[in-house]
Structure 1
Amino acid sequence: MIPWLDDSPLGEADFPPTDQALGPDSPAPGLLCAGGRLTPARLEAAYRRGIFPWFSPGQPPLWWSPDPRMVLRVEDFRLSHSLRKTIRRFLADPRCELRFDHDFAAVIAACASTPRAGQQGTWIVPSLRRAYLDWHRQGRVHSIETWIDGELVGGLYCVGLGRMVFGESMFARRSDASKIALAALVAFCRASGRPLIDCQQNTRHLASLGGVEWTRRAFEAHLRELLDAAPDPKAPQAGTAGAWTYDPAHWSSLGLAAPDAVSSPPAAPPSLP
């Protein structure tokens, strides 16, 4: 029997222990509980316990704590030769831009509407979008965006708590546009002392980029260590400590030159279909 959460504001922080989630032999491995109002307070209480919402239209909110858990240690991120070349062209072209939190609403809307292989519809339902938009206004959710000629062509959104980052969803309207955004997020995380990106579920694509599976226990141990932690004083930060801002200098953490150090921009925007 799956526990049902209280809808009242007083119950927003109440979640069962994560070891009560359904096991690998159940029809829904990792499912912990259901119900409850989707609010920034409840979302923050969930993420601080390693719990996230994931459900389809017509379903109540479903809350998950999978075991194992897919994570990406930013020091293990694999930047392929072809993607490195694409990023260099992108950075060299004045028509191409990386932006943080410029149009979060457009990013989450695009993530919700982008078709996914093997999926029908979207799990980013309207109630979830509204909750994350409210949470974004509180400075907890962020978008990493790729722009070409003033058009949003790809990006992702993620949750940031302390030195912990939780990846949520991405989209691309041009080839490699979401991969460039992910590389920008990894560069930012390396430069600002955020060592871990939660990827939730295992996929072949994430594994190709360096993602690995951890047990729930290992993930929660790292989570407790990184939540509300101050920025790493050893990290080569630029700008205000802990701030989610795009800085071209962050690319050096991936061995890439800042845009003003790159010459000979291409004749057409990169990553065209």
Structure 2
Amino acid sequence: MSNKGPFLLDDASDAPFPPAELALRDPDGLLAVGGDLSPVRLLNAYAGGIFPWFSEGQPLLWWSPDPRMVFRTGGVHLSSRFRRELRNSSWRIRADTAFAEVMQVCAQAPRPGQDGTWITADMHHAYVELHRLGYAHSVEVFDDEQLVGGIYGVAIGRMFFGESMFSGRSGGSKVALAALARTLDGWGWPLIDAQVENPHLMRMGAEHLPRADFLRQARELVRQPAEVGSWTGRFGELSAAFLAEPVTA
């Protein structure tokens, strides 16, 4: 079955999405238009391997590109030079203590070749609500009490869907991503969705996964039982220096 254009979503927030396999090839991954950013709609989207991505003034656009960019949680790469720098780092890493701030800084961060941001006011409000409900999480990097890096995304079952990250200081986003990955690996969560290709992510170990493989794995992981709620206590407070040593099998 082929799809000649994006699907128009039903107004009901709990209406099902079309299968992600029917997304367009051009533009790559565009699946549907419309709907809303209610928690039930967003959770249904992510559980089906779909995410929203649109700019201010556009309708809501929903995507599932092929291939998908992912990290294996045991495979995030930090260069030897950067790990040496971390040995004496005083940075501390926490989770879910500054979610709204991480989103705001991500929205303001300049992106090469990109004018403006997809993190609109409506998106910010929607993900803060998902955070309140225990499904959206942030990992934050602090120098003393100044936020210098962070990442946020959505967790369903044992699958983490990354949305955006930022560096307020050189290496801040690397530390946030690496700490998230190492923690999730310890929890038995194997994948982080990174959505679309990015040279910076590729250098850190991201890989392409054919959409069919990604959907199969993600759909299995979202069905696995996992605790819903704040990660602050479970994550604890980590020192960036613990990332100085490479992961061992």
Distance 2:50 2:180 in 1: 22
Return the letter of the residue paired with 1:41: V
Residue 16 (1) aligns with residue 18 (2) = yes
Q: Provide Cα deviations, 1:21-54, integer angstroms capped at 9, x if missing partner.
A: 111xx2x111000100111110000000000000
Return the letter of the residue paired with 2:140: E
Q: Which residue of 1 aligns with 2:113?
A: 118
In the TM superposition, residue 163 of structure 1 has moved relative to its aligned partner by 1.1
- Which is worse superposed, 146-155 or 49-58? 146-155
Q: Provide Cα deviations, 1:91-139, integer angstroms capped at 9, x if missing partner.
A: xx2xx32111101010000000111111000011111111101000011
Return the letter of the residue paired with 2:52: P
After superposition, the Cα gap between the structure-2 partners of 1:40 and 1:253, relative to the gap in structure 1 and judged at 3 Å, is same
In the TM superposition, residue 150 of structure 1 has moved relative to its aligned partner by 1.2
CA contact (8 A) 2:87 2:244 kept: no
Q: Which residue of 2 aligns with 1:6?
A: 10
Distance 1:97 1:249 in 2: 5
After superposition, the Cα gap between the structure-2 partners of 1:71 and 1:256, relative to the gap in structure 1 and judged at 3 Å, is closer
Percent of residue pairs bearing the same amino acid type: 45
Residue 246 (1) aligns with residue 236 (2) = yes
In the TM superposition, residue 244 of structure 1 has moved relative to its aligned partner by 4.7
Distance 2:208 2:118 in 1: 22
Q: Is the partner of 2:70 in helix, strand or coil?
A: strand
Q: How many residues align?
A: 240
In the TM superposition, residue 2 of structure 1 has moved relative to its aligned partner by 2.0
Residue 81 (1) aligns with residue 83 (2) = no
Distance 1:179 1:192 in 2: 20
After superposition, the Cα gap between the structure-2 partners of 1:248 and 1:151, relative to the gap in structure 1 and judged at 3 Å, is closer
Distance 1:164 1:55 in 2: 23
Q: Provide Cα deviations, 1:170-199, integer angstroms capped at 9, x if missing partner.
A: 111111111111111011111111110011
Q: Which residue of 1 aligns with 2:63?
A: 64
Return the letter of the residue paired with 1:168: E
CA contact (8 A) 2:94 2:237 kept: no
Return the letter of the residue paired with 1:70: M
In the TM superposition, residue 249 of structure 1 has moved relative to its aligned partner by 9.0
Return the letter of the residue paired with 2:192: I
Q: Is the partner of 1:139 in helix, strand or coil?
A: coil
Task: List alignment gaps of at least 5 residues for structure 2.
Answer: none
2:197 to 169, 189, 202: 202
Distance 1:67 1:101 in 2: 31
After superposition, the Cα gap between the structure-2 partners of 1:49 and 1:244, relative to the gap in structure 1 and judged at 3 Å, is farther
Return the letter of the residue paired with 1:29: D
Distance 2:7 2:22 in 1: 10
Distance 1:250 1:98 in 2: 7
CA contact (8 A) 2:74 2:182 kept: no
2:207 to 195, 212, 231: 212
Distance 1:107 1:249 in 2: 19
Return the letter of the residue paired with 2:190: P
* Structure with more relative contact order (C-alpha pairs < 8 Å, separation 6 or more): 2
Q: Whose radius of gyration is greater, 1 or 2?
A: 1
Residue 149 (1) aligns with residue 144 (2) = yes
In the TM superposition, residue 151 of structure 1 has moved relative to its aligned partner by 1.1
Q: Is the partner of 1:169 in helix, strand or coil?
A: strand
Return the letter of the residue paired with 1:30: G
CA contact (8 A) 1:190 1:253 kept: no
Q: Is the partner of 1:71 in helix, strand or coil?
A: strand
Q: Which residue of 1 aligns with 2:33?
A: 34
